[in-house]
Amino acid sequence: MYSEIYREIDQVIEKQQAAALCVVVRASGSTPRGKGSKMLVYPDGHFSGTVGGGELEQRVIAVAQEVIASGEPQMVEYAMADPQRGDPGVCGGQVEVYVEPILPQATVMVVGAGHVGLKVAHLAKWLGYAVVVSDDREERIQEDGLSSLGTVHHGSMEELVKTYPIHDRTFVVLTTRNVDVDVAGLPVLLQSETPYIGVIGSRRRWETTKAKLLEMGIPVDQIARITSPVGLELNAETPEEIAVSIMAQIIMLRHGGDGTSMAK
């Protein structure tokens, strides 16, 4: 009966999109739809299936959009008796709906498959992130075992953005070989929804990069979205240690941490 919704859910997951599944988990008395009724809602409010139509459905759609934005599921309950007191119907029953977010997998996109970039990719994979590794040098993306980490892309950052969806759960790390590569690619990355663009390098390298971006006319508020030097200050030295500092910063941002010591 609900095979079409399940097929849509598969497509949402495959395409790294977002939606919310709404399921009637309890229905008592006279209600528009019974227990088990399902509706799949997308961020723009369009939907498949139904949990009852009318005002009830519009309220559930609004909750679903909140759930997609927050990533937190909700259980909502509606009485269907008296619209004058705010009820969404007059059937006389009660409906309880569970609204669950379906979100893209958190992804780490590594641009630059050098020593540090590969360690970031390996660590991100181990931590459960989807991984994309990109480099414009063909020999770099042919490293043994690289394809086992996830998606491998050969080409420029502009081509990368065109071929791979960057959503608000995609964390981009630039571990490139020089300023020129960063300057060429950062403007297109700044047009994406990514919440994090980390650029490796010294403070002096970043000041050079920033000056070139300003010369190109990139607004200051957009440049402020870039984190450089990348990572938390751990006095890291080896590629492995630097990868830990970078992923620690991503985890902190993703979960709202502040990076302070847990021991007070």
* CATH number of domain containing 119: 3.40.50.720
Tokens representing 178 are 């020089």
Cβ-based neighbour number of residue 142 at 10 Å: 13
pLDDT at residue number 139:
84
Residues 97, 226: one domain? no
**Number of domains present in the structure of the chain:** 2
pLDDT tens figures, 128-166: 999 999 999 888 888 777 888 888 999 899 999 988 889
> Can you give the residue range of the structural domain that contains 193?
107-255
Residues 125, 203: one domain? yes
Residues 133, 230: one domain? yes
Residues 114, 84: one domain? no
pLDDT at residue number 84:
47
CA angle at residue 124 from 261 to 106, to 5 degrees? 95
How confident is the model over 197-212, as a mean pLDDT?
Answer: 95
Backbone angles phi, psi at 161, to 5 degrees: -65, -35
Scan for tokens 């609204």, then name that residue.
99
Element (H, E) at 54: helix 54-70
Residues 239, 170: one domain? yes
Q: Is the pLDDT of residue 82 over 60?
A: no
Q: Considering the domain boundaries, does residue 67 fall inside one?
A: yes
Query: What is the three-class DSSP state of 15?
Result: coil
Residues 127, 81: one domain? no
Residues 125, 242: one domain? yes
